[in-house]
Structure 1
Amino acid sequence: MTDQIKLFQEKLNAELAKMEFGKKPTELYEPLRYTLRQGGKRMRPILAVMAYLTKKQDWESIIAPALSIELFHNFTLIHDDIMDEAPLRRGKETVYKKWDSNIAILSGDALMILAYDLMLEADYDDIKYLIKLFNRCVVEVCEGQQMDMNFETIDTVPEEDYIEMIKLKTSVLLGYSLEMGALLAGMTKEQALKLREFGINIGIGFQLKDDLLDVYGDTAKVGKQIGGDIISNKKTMLLLKALELADEKTKEDLDDLIAATDFDPVKKVDSVKAIYAQLGIKEIAEEKMKYYFDLGFKQLVELKDEDLNLDPLIAFTQALIDRDH
């Protein structure tokens, strides 16, 4: 499985490297090359390929539409970094920091249009339907990003709103990747929808896993500072659940930690983790994560008798679930 994924990544990266952009103005096109050279797991186009392989083997025939998803994903990253004022992406300067915000906005817009060009290369009879699915996904991602920004201005967020936010911001694109691959392989719309729902639920589980790894992961494996979400007061499932379950005194302590502007990061992380331990937050988040993973796999169970080769997709997904970084 690892060798197969590496093969997919190498082929996708090779095709990205061959993509021709305009030459002038350089300020418009160089940020696109810079962004796509930064690497990444290419998980979304790989999911499209994995869905296609459940029914057909000539996966290289769908590289163009699969890469359209990767271009759209990178468009969102360019714009998200502006909104988040993030200085680094994959260890490199973000586009808006290396150039400026206006260039980043315009380059991101161009990347989005190029994504549509690749999508239109899909060999699918009802291309209008495929584009409509993509458009719905794009709008949902924008809705999720707006919800995430809205959360920054309010003290607490209900659990169901947080789940809806990560579903829209992150998971629907995983779902679309699988749905598109399934449709291009010749699945019925009903079958493809089951794969979409699988991807959405698994995606929610992945985000909850990332929330947990940020607090309880191994720095050497995760590759970033543990407790970064705590230090930045990010409204993750863990923090929101702690605020919901804390008694008056514990909530006061938690509120003080959140409000502090002058603090020792290590002590803050340790103090918040102590509150999480007191409230059983890790176990609650793990249970919720498992719920969404199980919910996703139930969609695949419904496809078991459909003469599809689901084993590689299941193995790939399980490998992602089992990761510790």
Structure 2
Amino acid sequence: MFSFETLAKQFSDKFNTRHFPGTLPSLYQPAEYFLSIGGKRIRPVICLMGNELFDAIQPDAWHVAHAVELFHNFTLIHDDIMDKAPLRRGMQTVHVKYNESTALLAGDVMIVAAYDYLSKITPLHLPKIMHLFNKTAREVCEGQQLDMDFEERQEVTLEEYMHMVTLKTSVLLAASLQMGAMLGGSGEGNQDHLYAFGKNLGIAFQLQDDYLDAFGDPEKFGKQPGGDIMANKKTFLTIQALEAATPVQKKELLRLMKENPPDKVDSVLQIFKDCEVDVWAKNLKDKYLSLALQHLEDTAVISSRKQPLQELALFLVQREH
């Protein structure tokens, strides 16, 4: 069994090549630029890990992993446009470096390339893989739309936010793992457990993201905390604070969100602490991590083969950056 780090290195070695033709550099160079920025490659690697739980990694798993990573980057390019984000992983976003129209097309050709990789898998697996991939792609789009819808609303319930996070973040992680398991010859029962593992892990991952943005150590997190607060993003912490706050605290929190005073971040963080949303977030994160690990435990594979996935889950949810 390979560790996540080893598989990530193997995947990067295969993925870090030219994916688009040299013709029409005004279209393809921006796409290659964005892919060169890199990333954690969690989703494609977890696909490979899902395969390796049950069998040696099949050539088809590499094709699906490439498709997953290209699809993920397609969503990131389009998300950056919608969020008007200037930077991605410390580098200029495509719409800033080039322009919005080019960024849209660069994302579009990535999803075309993703389907080209899917077309290479064996006919035996193609229908089920394609169905799950398409279902997941649609759900990710639904999650992004809900995220934008929430920006227009003053309040969002925890249940609504959880649903959005599941669609926008969790389902791609879950599906990547399930597709790898399919290619490894897994039965449907094990696939269901692994999908649930990935889905719950994705929620815990987002909880940790929201927590770090508010309370992370700047030296470890790599940036000053409070970016979500400044942007008035609906996060787990904001939603819980609005729910748990006293009438006076709630009025002040809404004022801070509306007026954006210079001390906004510190003042909001103080309300978060007074409402104990930091403790609440840690407890909820641990709950979803436990759910994820229970589904991994219930997967009918010897424990030693599940260890790399367990280690990855603990790292993703306990990370400080």
Name the structure 1 match of 2:135.
Answer: 136
The alpha-carbon deviation at position 306 of structure 1 amounts to 6.7
**Which of 20-29 and 277-286 deviates more?**
20-29
Residue 200 of structure 2: aligned partner: 201
Q: What are the superposed Cα offsets for residues 184-242 of structure 1, whole Å, 9 maximum, x if unpaired?
A: 10001231121111101110000001111111111011111111111221111111111
Aligned partner letter, 1:288: L
Offset at 1:250?
A: 1.1
For 1:58 and 1:301, the matched residues in 2 are separated by 21
Question: Contact conserved, 2:136 with 2:171, CA < 8 A, in 1?
Answer: yes
2:41 is equivalent to residue 42 of structure 1: yes
Q: Is the 8 A contact 2:19 2:113 kept in 1?
A: no
The answer to whether 1:116 aligns with 2:115 is yes
| Alpha-carbon distance change, 307 to 288 in structure 1, aligned in 2, over 3 angstroms | closer
Partner residue, 2:148: 149
Structure 1 CA distance, aligned partners of 2:280 and 2:4? 32
Match for residue 288 of structure 1? Answer: 284
Q: Which residue of 2 aligns with 1:102?
A: 101
Change (3 A) 1:251 1:20: closer
Q: Percent identity?
A: 40
Distance 2:154 2:219 in 1: 32
Match of 2:311 in 1: 315
Partner-residue secondary structure (3-state), 2:175:
helix
Describe the superposition over 1:54-107 as per-residue Cα deviations: whole angstroms up to 9, x where unpaired: 111336662221111000000000100111111111111111111111111111
Alpha-carbon distance in structure 2 between the residues aligned to 1:307 and 1:295: 17
TM-aligned CA deviation for residue 31 of structure 1: 1.2
Give the letter aligned to residue 310 of structure 1.
Answer: K
Aligned partners of 1:141 and 1:168 also within 8 Å: yes
CA contact (8 A) 2:46 2:176 kept: yes
In 1, Cα distance between the equivalents of 2:20 and 2:146? 33
TM-score for the superposition, normalised by structure 1 = 0.94
**How far apart, CA to CA, are the structure 2 residues paired with 1:8 and 1:152?**
37
Please say if residues 60 and 183 of structure 2, whose CA atoms lie closer than 8 Å, have aligned partners that are also in contact: no
Q: Which blocks of at least 5 consecutive residues in structure 2 are unaligned?
A: none
User: Are the aligned partners of 1:123 and 1:184 in contact in 2 as well (CA < 8 Å)?
Assistant: no
Alignment pair present for 1:54 and 2:47: no
Moved more, 305-314 or 34-43: 305-314
Instruction: Report the equivalent of 1:271.
Output: 267
C-alpha deviation, 1:308, in angstroms: 8.0
Query: Contact 1:201/1:292 (CA < 8 Å) preserved in 2?
Result: yes
The residue identity in structure 2 corresponding to 1:49 is L
Query: Is the Cα contact below 8 Å between 2:48 and 2:57 reproduced in 1?
Result: no
* SS in structure 2 of the partner of residue 40 of structure 1: coil
Report matched runs for 1:9-28 at 5 Å.
9-28=8-27
Preserved contact between residue 174 and residue 199 of structure 2 (Cα < 8 Å): yes
In the alignment of these two chains, the number of paired residues is 321
TM-score, reference length from structure 2 = 0.95
- 1:190 and 2:189 matched: yes
Q: Which stretches in structure 1 are left out of the alignment for 5+ residues? A: none
Q: Return the alpha-carbon distance in structure 2 between the equivalents of residues 59 and 236 of structure 1.
A: 39
1:178 maps to a residue whose letter is L
Amino acid at match of 1:224: K
Contact 1:122–1:184 (Cα < 8 Å) also in 2: no
* Partner in structure 2 of residue 220 of structure 1: 219
How far apart, CA to CA, are the structure 2 residues paired with 1:168 and 1:20? 27
State the distance in 1 between where 2:212 and 2:125 align.
41
- 1:143-192: CA deviations, max 9, x gaps? 00000000000100000000000100011000011001100100012311
Give the Cα separation in 2 of the matches to 1:5 and 1:288.
25
**Separation (CA, whole Å) in 2 of partners of 1:117 and 1:307:** 36
Bigger Cα displacement from structure 2, 273-282 vs 172-181: 273-282
Aligned residues of 2:3 and 2:308 also touching (Cα < 8 A): no
Contact (CA 8 Å) 1:124, 1:184: kept in 2 or not?
Answer: no
Structure 1 position 88 matched with structure 2 position 87: yes
Shift of 1:13: 2.0
Paired AA for residue 265 in structure 2: V
Does the 8 Å contact 1:141/1:173 carry over to 2? yes
CA shift in 2, pair 1:59/1:125, >3 Å? closer
Measured in 1, the distance between the counterparts of 2:8 and 2:305 equals: 21
DSSP-derived class of the 2:16 partner: helix
